[in-house]
Structure 1
Amino acid sequence: MAMPQTKPAPVATTDIAVSARSVSKTYGETEALRDMTIEFPRGQLTSLLGPSGCGKTTLLKIIAGLLEPNSGTIEVNGKPVTGPGEDRAFVFQDFALLPWASVMRNVAFGLELRGVAKSEREAIAAKYIADVGLKGFEKSFPHELSGGMRQRVGLARALSVNADVLLMDEPFSAVDEQTRRKFQEDLLSLVQNENKTFIFVTHSIEEAVYVSDQIALLLPRPSRVSEIIRPSGLRMKDVDNIRRDPEYLDTVDRIWALLRSYVE
């Protein structure tokens, strides 16, 4: 079944933090993105969801300034992206921690690179270490932590630099299901409390519907936006009740019906 070529609905009365306009990207003869256009509302979480190889991570890296598009523009807060910037922070799938540094040093590392004084950066890092549930592990090293704890360190590091936009590339894929569910609940709290814009890559339909203000369904390569889905009613629900809510169940089924023909 072909995914419908519907235009994303406009975001009413909401500021746009990040916009991608007619972005295309090729790797040699492989066309990853073609005329990708999408807007990311300020203070909300948008999931990028689609079949494997559809360009989700490529788009995320272009927004981060880690890759250059062949054509098109990315704007963050109305300014064109020409490379990495302090207005964006990246949470990597593989944690990307410094193995020789403590949790405190890892979380404070971005601030250290910016020249923030040690006492100030450690105070900021301590706040976010506590916020992600790692208080008491400040002196621990990555090899002493579980995979879930290492991912929390990566998230705390991204939060500590106070970037407007957090780019998350399948951040929960390497942890067990119980830890993943707890991370999802924690992420909802962060979106509510941090007033940042989250762009979240996932392969999980259930995860996308659970955590997202909007879900961008991407077509197979060369990728474009097929449809924007906004499960708006779920944001008003208690986190314990979302997965039982009829809107959640119906949205999961609807997305699966759109994506199933692309599963090999």
Structure 2
Amino acid sequence: MPAAAAPDGIVEVRGISKTYGGGVEALNNISLTFPEGALTSLLGPSGCGKTTLLKIIAGLVAPTAGEILVKGRRVTGPGPERSFVFQDFALMPWATVLRNAAFGLELRGVARSEREAVAERYIEAVGLKGFEHKYPHELSGGMRQRVGLARALAVNADVVMMDEPFSAVDEQTRRRFQEDLLRLVAQERKTFLFVTHSIEEAVYVSNRIVLLSRRPSRVQRIIEIDLPRDGDPDRIRRHPDYLDTVEDIWQGLRHYVE
């Protein structure tokens, strides 16, 4: 499938390897460039190290070898140019939706009126207007994940990392999230790094897919996605290029499934 040339990379992964205690090798000499302004999905067999690689880029896990550069600067830990949406929401149960969404700005010392104005804008953007003063226990799982996304967007990071953010919701909510994510990617023009186990989801939301091998993980293949993103969302899922790409990726992964 033809695709336009990738933009300049904002994130560079250079020779990253990771070995855990006991000699378990998760990643082996991975080198990648993530283009600015695109959504790139990491896809591969279960346990292949997708989340490990994402957390190394986030500065939450240290690599055994290699280095990460973001905007030309070496990553030595978390930084303001990166934000992370966790699979388990990671919300403060005692804080309202508004405070949770504004928490990253609060940590940066942004004045209350300013940070709440920014948080309110992103709460509305993720479809939670009217829930600003609710607490996490009053929300569904899908709504809590939207709060996590609002918080990640509110800090205005250049790179937004998402670790299987839709895995805990039902299929109907998941599809709605995917459609909302496409809208936010187009609006925000940020760089998104997205981990998923779902081939269909990766093809639907991505500009590029990095296909990883079984552990110790290596880059097996990079797939450029060029699908029509306007119009009826269901039309994308019926598009011949979408169906062919899903099948092509499945054929590349099926021998990893026991």
Range of TM-score over shorter length: over 0.9
The match for 1:18 is 11
Which residue type is aligned with residue 133 of structure 1?
A: G
The match for 1:36 is 30
State yes or no: 1:136 paired with 2:149.
Answer: no
Contact map agreement 1:11 1:41 (CA 8 A) in 2:
no
Contact map agreement 2:6 2:35 (CA 8 A) in 1:
no
Q: CA deviation at 1:108?
A: 0.3
Matches within 5 A, 1:197-236: 197-235=191-229
Q: CA deviation at 1:231?
A: 1.6
Structure 1 length-normalised TM:
0.94
Which residue type is aligned with residue 5 of structure 2?
A: A
1:47 maps to which of 36, 41, 48: 41
Q: CA deviation at 1:234?
A: 3.8
Secondary structure of the residue that 1:189 maps to in structure 2? helix
The match for 1:5 is none
Which residue type is aligned with residue 40 of structure 2?
A: T
Contact map agreement 1:213 1:235 (CA 8 A) in 2:
no
Distance 1:86 1:209 in 2: 29
Distance 1:216 1:144 in 2: 37
Distance 2:92 2:102 in 1: 11
Q: CA deviation at 1:233?
A: 3.1
Cα distance, 1:13–1:215 mapped onto 2, change above 3 Å: closer
Which residue type is aligned with residue 61 of structure 2?
A: L
The match for 1:248 is 242
Contact map agreement 1:73 1:81 (CA 8 A) in 2:
yes
Contact map agreement 1:32 1:223 (CA 8 A) in 2:
yes
Q: CA deviation at 1:81?
A: 0.5
Which residue type is aligned with residue 19 of structure 1?
A: E
Query: What whole-Å deviation, never above 9, does each CA across 1:141-195 have from its counterpart, x for those lacking one?
Result: 0000000000000000000000000010000000010000000000001111101
Which residue type is aligned with residue 253 of structure 1?
A: E
Contact map agreement 2:227 2:236 (CA 8 A) in 1:
no
The match for 1:69 is 63
Aligned sequence identity (%): 70
2:164 maps to which of 170, 181, 196: 170
Secondary structure of the residue that 1:40 maps to in structure 2? strand
Q: Report the number of matched residues.
A: 256
State yes or no: 1:96 paired with 2:90.
Answer: yes
The match for 1:193 is 187
Matches within 5 A, 1:85-164: 85-164=79-158
Q: CA deviation at 1:17?
A: 1.0
Query: What whole-Å deviation, never above 9, does each CA across 1:34-56 have from its counterpart, x for those lacking one?
Result: 00011111000000000011000
Show structure 1 runs of 5+ residues with no match: 1-9
Distance 1:132 1:40 in 2: 25
Show structure 2 runs of 5+ residues with no match: none
Q: CA deviation at 1:238?
A: 4.6
Contact map agreement 1:214 1:231 (CA 8 A) in 2:
yes
Contact map agreement 1:97 1:154 (CA 8 A) in 2:
yes
Query: What whole-Å deviation, never above 9, does each CA across 1:216-254 have from its counterpart, x for those lacking one?
Result: 000000101100011213446653311000000000000
Distance 2:91 2:221 in 1: 35
Q: CA RMSD in A?
A: 1.5
Secondary structure of the residue that 2:233 maps to in structure 1? coil
Which residue type is aligned with residue 162 of structure 1?
A: N
Cα distance, 1:237–1:258 mapped onto 2, change above 3 Å: farther
Contact map agreement 1:95 1:151 (CA 8 A) in 2:
yes
Which residue type is aligned with residue 84 of structure 1?
A: P
Cα distance, 1:234–1:260 mapped onto 2, change above 3 Å: farther
